[in-house]
Amino acid sequence: MGTAFDEGDPFTIALIEMNLGGRMGGLKLAEAVRHLDPYIEIVLLSAAPDVPLKEINARIQPPERLLYVQKPFRSPELKQIAMSLCSKWDAESRVRELNATLASKVEARTSELNAANRRLRLDISKRAAVLRELQASEQRYRLLFEKDITGNFASDADGLILDCNVAFADLFGFESPQDAHGANIFKLWDTMGGAEPLRDLLQVRPRLGNHEVMFVRGGMKCHLLVNIDTVLNAEGEPEELRGYISIFQNPNALRNSFASRRRWKRSVRSRAALRMTSTTSSGSFSGMPRLSRIQLIPTPASNAASGKSPVPESVPVIWSIRS
């Protein structure tokens, strides 16, 4: 019986005679059988109730897998008992298998959920760190935006102010940036005396860079340098306007600065003009390689009146050998 249980093919029912090998022999055998197989159905057969049922139930557990039959009995009765107990054992065996399968599935699923929970906690911690970094970056940008001396603003495509800083509000006569929210930048531009409508300028060029305008505010002229970018959506249509407006007191100095920068760029390009000359050197051997000389030659556009420094007389020479 123990071998059959270990091999996975256990017995279903054990019919044991109570008086087998003495008065308590059957009861001791039933205890040994129960010790080998906790799920077997035990049927005790006895002609005389020598042992009380209370003692039998206490020694052979559990009582729901124990049946006591008093002799005499008929063969069909015992056959019916055996059939019922076999069906009961088979149903309980299937339930145990299902429970074991369910337990393994629950354990595997629990392990997966725990792993997913750990990944989720890690992802949440990473997202929290990124969120804190974004909030700190936004705070730095907001501080820079609000404290900037340049009048900064953002509006929708129709020109309604969505956000601005203190410098912008002061420029257009608002008490605070919140008071400027909802105002129209196109109307503000026209009210302050812009020479050309801002809407027309942005229709020609989506990006308005270093555009000089003169506003009239309180009867006084105010020179401004305007930079406005048009932000386009996925369809290529205007979605937002972002502007940066600077006030300057000496427009001529600013123009001269821009002009000097343009002249300096032209000067750098002119100094990069190359003229190549080739000369053949003489030697005592035939087949002497020829030497080519590349010399940087400045253009004769040096004008003292323009304020440019003269080109140095010493010009670098680059030699190369070719056959």
**Mean pLDDT of the 226-254 span:** 81
3-class secondary structure, 80: helix
* pLDDT band of 50, cuts 50, 70, 90: confident
Counted domains in the chain = 3
C-alpha 179/C-alpha 155 separation (Å) is: 14
CATH of the domain at 192: 3.30.450.20
- 48 residue type, one letter: A
- Top-ranked range on mean pLDDT: pick from 6-10, 29-33, 201-205, 248-252: 29-33
pLDDT of residue 83: 92
pLDDT of residue 84: 92
194 plus 235 within the same structural domain: yes
Q: Is residue 69 part of a domain?
A: yes
Of 33, 48, 73, the residue that ends a domain is: 73
Residues in the chain: 323
233 plus 155 within the same structural domain: yes
Of 27, 46, 73, the residue that ends a domain is: 73
**Mean pLDDT of the 224-239 span:** 88
Domain that holds residue 290: 268-322
3-class secondary structure, 87: helix
Q: Is residue 54 part of a domain?
A: yes
166 plus 198 within the same structural domain: yes
Q: What is the mean pLDDT of the chain?
A: 77
Q: Is residue 125 part of a domain?
A: no
Of 36, 40, 35, 37, which Cα lies nearest the Cα of 12? 40
C-alpha 145/C-alpha 139 separation (Å) is: 10
C-alpha 29/C-alpha 141 separation (Å) is: 88
Per-residue pLDDT tens for 264-304?
A: 666 666 665 544 444 444 444 444 444 444 444 444 444 44
Q: Is residue 262 part of a domain?
A: no
pLDDT greater than 90 at residue 190: no
Of 147, 166, 173, 152, which Cα lies nearest the Cα of 241? 152
Whether the Cβ atoms of residue 172 and residue 196 lie closer than 8 Å to each other = no
Predicted TM-score (pTM) above 0.85: no
Q: Is residue 86 part of a domain?
A: no
pLDDT of residue 267: 67
* pLDDT band of 123, cuts 50, 70, 90: very high
Q: Are strands 41-46 and 13-17 parallel, antiparallel or unpaired?
A: parallel
Sequence-separated (6 or more) residues with CB below 8 Å from residue 12: 40, 41, 85, 86, 89, 90
pLDDT greater than 60 at residue 80: yes
CATH of the domain at 53: 3.40.50.2300
237 plus 172 within the same structural domain: yes
Q: Is residue 8 part of a domain?
A: yes
pLDDT of residue 210: 83
Per-residue pLDDT tens for 32-45?
A: 998 988 889 999 88
Query: Which range has the worst mean pLDDT, 39-53, 176-190, 260-274, 298-312?
Result: 298-312
pLDDT greater than 90 at residue 253: no
**Mean pLDDT of the 8-26 span:** 83
Which two structure tokens, joined as six digits, stand for 28? Answer: 């001791």
C-alpha 266/C-alpha 245 separation (Å) is: 28
